[in-house]
Chains A and B, each alone.
Chain A
């Protein structure tokens, strides 16, 4: 790790239980965690949070996760930011859809607390500058 500070992870998830769990599990691994409940909040606070990775629920109220991802990608600064889609149903086609929308990886919900942190660590490592 070349960075001195802790990696910052932004979690966009409207479901309280899911968001809290993700914040807790990854918080314990030493990441700095920020949680928001919808796409608008994510877009508004994106610059000030300046995350190293985003976990994006797809099924959000209002603007869905695909759309939020597209809008984030439009900002040049975040064109290469790793965004991991979280979807409720592991269905054929979802992965394709999320990758098409600009996500880098895809994790099906509910998350498995045993394997989830390793997956995130691997994605972060992959995207290290």
Chain B
């Protein structure tokens, strides 16, 4: 992905020049001609770096720098002040209010590009560190969750089931026990998902028949299938060779995709699962439901963590599914028409690829 640089200058010639040079160096550019526009664009687009002139109408560079650096959503964006003169005061003031660097006009283009490059490199490295730290934190959290939550959840569920079994058929309290049971199942599912997310890169692969895996996933979705009165249609190409897969993770991915399809069907419908070879190197799996579909606004966000349009669920399912499929060097895409249905397409390479 291209990195984005916001150019802010009231001097049109400067903007045009910078725009040209930056684009040529492979950056995406945004342009603003006063401080107010700069603040607005920074909030909207979250660029990777801002080149900010000081002397501008409406809002000057100092004020907009201050505003950007005070806003939680934009304060991390590096700002280079463009100072017109060799004025030490301006430089000091700029750095004091949070600018990350300054460039003296007229600037030397090579120097400007070199400074931008090194700054963006720093950002990338920082991001990598943050990601690494986050995933370490996630691992710690998951370990805690695994040990400290799973066991009590299992026994809460076990005893709720006992209560359920021992209460007479017409007892109103049966419903309460059922709710406890449902909620513990949800918690168990979440624990399972977060464990899977952590174990993704460490899990081994083995040769598996994808159809057997789909059939296995279907046995995990029986309740929902009956609840929503769905007929499952299998269109399997049985000539497909076994694939190198991580069983437990792929199972979670397919359970998720099948469950999503079943949930989209409100009252009776069909879920079709097809497998085929789409070209020499890819296996194609399509899961199609004729349920209520997804509107285009939601469709953009379905792979975002914690996004959910349902009343229940943590919104971890699809991001995890995509991660699992990505780990297998596959792709996943979703097409949907409101009130018509949704088609999820998963491709997986037929030949094993080296994992890094």
Contact = CB atoms under 8 A, between A and B. Distances in A.
A104 B213 CA distance: 28
A121 B227 CA distance: 35
Interface string B240-253: 00000001100100
Q: Which range holds the interface residue count of chain B?
A: 20 to 34
B216 interface: yes
A89 B161 contact: yes
Interface string B208-238: 1000110110111010000000001000000
A109 B212 contact: no
A89 B161 CA distance: 9
B162 interface: yes
B157 interface: yes
Contact of B215 (A17, A91, A114): A17
B131 interface: no
Interface string B191-218: 0000000000000001010001101101
B165 to A, nearest CB: 9
B182 interface: no
B179 to A, nearest CB: 16
Given A25-B212, A110-B216, A113-B247, A18 B222 contact: yes
Contacts of B232: 17
Contacts of B251: 112
B216 A92 contact: no
B316 to A, nearest CB: 21
A8 interface: no
A50 B162 CA distance: 36
Interface majority SS (helix, strand, loop, mixed), chain A: loop
A21 B216 contact: yes
B184 to A, nearest CB: 11
A80 B338 CA distance: 58
Interface string A20-50: 1100110000000000000000000000000
Contact of B157 (A15, A20, A91, A110): A91
B158 A113 contact: no
A109 to B, nearest CB: 7
A24 B212 contact: yes
Contacts of B154: 90
B219 A21 contact: yes
Contacts of A111: 216, 219
Contact of A113 (B161, B162, B216): B216
Given A89-B161, A92-B155, A113-B213, A17 B222 contact: yes
Contact of A18 (B212, B213, B219, B248): B219
Contacts of A24: 212, 215
B247 A17 contact: no
Interface in A91-124: 91-93, 109-114
Nearest to A15: B222
Given A91-B158, A92-B158, A93-B162, A110 B247 contact: no
A90 B248 CA distance: 18
Nearest to A89: B161
Given A92-B155, A111-B216, 14 more contacts: A17-B219, A18-B222, A20-B215, A21-B212, A21-B215, A24-B215, A91-B162, A92-B158, A93-B158, A93-B162, A111-B219, A112-B247, A113-B212, A114-B206
17 contacts: A17-B219, A17-B222, A17-B232, A20-B215, A24-B212, A24-B215, A89-B157, A89-B161, A90-B154, A91-B158, A93-B162, A110-B220, A111-B219, A112-B216, A113-B213, A113-B216, A114-B247
Interface of B: 154-155, 157-159, 161-162, 206, 208, 212-213, 215-216, 218-220, 222, 232, 247-248, 251
Q: Which 7 A-B pairs have the closest CB atoms?
A: A110-B219, A91-B158, A114-B247, A92-B158, A113-B216, A21-B215, A17-B219
